[in-house]
Chains A and B, each alone.
Chain A
Amino acid sequence: MLRFILRRALLAIPSLFGLLVLTFFLIRVVPADPAAALAGENATPAQVAEIRRQYGLDRPLHEQFVVYLGQVARFEFGESAYSRRPVALDIKQRLPATLELTVSALLLATLLGIPLGTIAAVYHNRWPDTLLRVLSVAGVAIAAFWFAIELQLLFAMDLGWFPLRGRMSSGLAAPPAVTGFLLLDSLIAGRLDAFRDALHHLVLPAVTLSLGGIATIARFTRAGVLETLQKDFVLYERAQGFPSRALIWRFVLKNSVVAAITQIGLLFGALIAGAVVVETIFDWPGIGFYTVQAILTADYKVMLAVTLLIGVIYAAVNILVDLVHGLIDPRLREQL
């Protein structure tokens, strides 16, 4: 299994390199001048030229790329032009907030999507199935920013059930950072008040972010269960006298979730991308919010570092997905 992980990690390196090449050159093709942004609005052309020279932005693009590669190899990501702090430090502080949000959304999507998809398959072509199909199209089609604002209007403004924005109430002291995940840190510190507050803040953004995921996972689970129900072994298990409910949840589902789990891996990438919008709307101090600011200020070092980071997380999640497949299906395990 270790060999499998190593092999997959090595295979991910070319993809990550490709990603690096693509983002590096794409950012430079965009008609935004990082030197001008760094110099500020009132800078003279001479000052801009000086900054350009100082940051090596006047050298040919391919030379800049080689320099950049060398820095990445040493895990140096430079300084953010906006926050004037090392990019690595900024990311380290903000990544846990994003991961807490995306993992919660993914968990929500899985815990709701798999049962919903299964129920739809069991009631194939009857009303629960039809209802779920309509909802899942809606779930994919609804724009996250619109849905987020609707949630804020209803549950934060009108009903006042959930806070409007942020990760924690301003009056409350944050628990000491251990993992960076507020929920975990509150539990570690034994601060139930902080835990409740953080959870309260998490609900609306996580629900918004999970919407598309619920729909996708439900759709793939439904298709998987429908396919499994046609199999001979289901007929055999029925002939053994298993009641149909036990049969579905105990024997059919495990055969049916392989495709849905592949989707969970792919979704993780989409969720991190979606976090950019959701974090901006809910004022969530994660890397999505940070990236938006970086794009607005042409802060290319942040953009590069964040893209690379998302690429690495995505590759890691997909290796994990393959391991989970092996856990489910013994025939795949032997190929690991």
Chain B
Amino acid sequence: MSLVLDVRNLRLAVKTDEGRAQILDRVELALPRGRILGLVGESGCGKSTLVRAVLGILPKNAVIESGEILFEGEDLLRLSERELARRVRGSRIGFIPQDPYLALNPVFKIGAQLLPVMRWHAPAPADGPRSGAALLRAHRSRLVEILRRVQIPEPEAVLERYPHQFSGGQRQRLMIAGALACSPRLIIADEPTTALDVTTQLQILKLLKSLATEFDVSMLFVTHDFGVVAQLCDEITVMYAGQTVESGPTATVLGSPQHPYTEALLACHPDRARELAGIPGAVPSPLDPPPGCRFWPRCPHAIEYCRRRPARFSEGRRGQLVNCRLADPLPDAAA
């Protein structure tokens, strides 16, 4: 199966005043074409940093130390800023941000924000309209069509309105339309429903699911909510403290988690737990991460070897990938 997005062995650090913070440590992620992959983890585990690394919009003090980010077979880390802006960001990869209240520029009309994106990414086609006005009309009608598709009422009039004239759910629909505008191959959604209330959340999730099929687009869906993943995603990748800990089909990972962290996190979910349980200990600081597996200080199955074991995936019992000694094919290495 061909992969739309394939992140391999990604290590990323951020230089801070207190020293170097290892934010991502040997991250692995594989998104098959046409699938929706849920990237799950607690706040601060590096999900958003991973997204920004894929889009090439990292903060200035971030350094990628090693690894590859293959998008449709091309390593994005080898592209220049110019190439990324020209033919990846916004065109082949659409982005849906976390907070639709803050992501729209308050002093520009919706049309003035979304149409320039289409204009920038879509130079005059050889057979289509060439003149500026005709091209603008073509973009307009496409955008209006997409707005209608994401269930925005009066899409023509919407282009002339300002962001503050929309509700949160409507704004998130606008962001979805913006992500789809240039016919991307991949959509990255960074917790797109977190800022919305529960009923709106459900509508947006259903919309995303049907649009992914209709527009034939793969999706990387970042969330901290297993419930959302269960409803929406085909695949799941779990992150903990900058490391990927488990990855596989949603039903497998949620049904029989193999990594102790996934297990513990699922046990914390209020829908599953009989009584509210927590995970003892705290997430380690990226400034001074524990060596080896980052979960060992909190892990009930930790042994001395876990402090030395470098992060790597091996196949678990049910076919998912697990980053834990318990799943290692060579049990004698634990000695």
Contact = CB atoms under 8 A, between A and B. Distances in A.
Interface string B91-132: 100010111001111111000010011001100000000000
Contacts of A329: 106-107
| Interface size range of chain A in the complex | 20 to 34
A253 to B, nearest CB: 10
A237 B178 CA distance: 11
A250 B90 CA distance: 17
25 contacts: A232-B98, A232-B102, A236-B95, A236-B175, A238-B57, A239-B89, A239-B90, A240-B178, A241-B84, A241-B85, A241-B86, A242-B116, A242-B117, A243-B85, A243-B120, A244-B81, A250-B116, A251-B108, A251-B113, A254-B108, A255-B107, A328-B107, A330-B162, A330-B164, A331-B162
Nearest to A236: B103
Contacts of B103: 232-233, 235-236
Q: Which 8 interchain pairs have the tightest Cβ spacing?
A: A241-B90, A241-B89, A232-B102, A240-B90, A239-B95, A236-B103, A330-B162, A233-B105
Contacts of B89: 238-241
A331 B91 CA distance: 31
B86 A237 contact: no
Nearest to A233: B105
Given A235-B57, A236-B97, A242 B120 contact: yes
B159 interface: no
B187 to A, nearest CB: 11
A238 to B, nearest CB: 5
A243 B99 CA distance: 23
Contacts of B121: 241
A7 interface: no
Nearest to A251: B105
A225 to B, nearest CB: 14
A74 interface: no
B161 to A, nearest CB: 9
Interface in B172-194: 175, 178
Interface residues of B, number: 31
B108 A239 contact: no
Contacts, number: 76
B82 interface: yes
Interface of B: 55, 57, 81-82, 84-86, 88-91, 95, 97-99, 102-108, 113, 116-117, 120-121, 162, 164, 175, 178
A20 B106 CA distance: 41
A233 B174 CA distance: 13
A235 B90 contact: no
A142 B115 CA distance: 47
A237 B91 CA distance: 12
Interface in A288-336: 328-331
A157 B85 CA distance: 53
Given A235-B57, A240-B90, A243-B120, 4 more contacts: A232-B99, A236-B175, A238-B57, A251-B108
B164 A241 contact: no
Nearest to A328: B107
B107 A237 contact: no
B107 A330 contact: yes
A237 B106 contact: no
Nearest to B92: A241
Contacts of A84: none
A3 interface: no
Contacts of A255: 105-107
Nearest to B105: A233
Nearest to A329: B107
Nearest to A254: B107
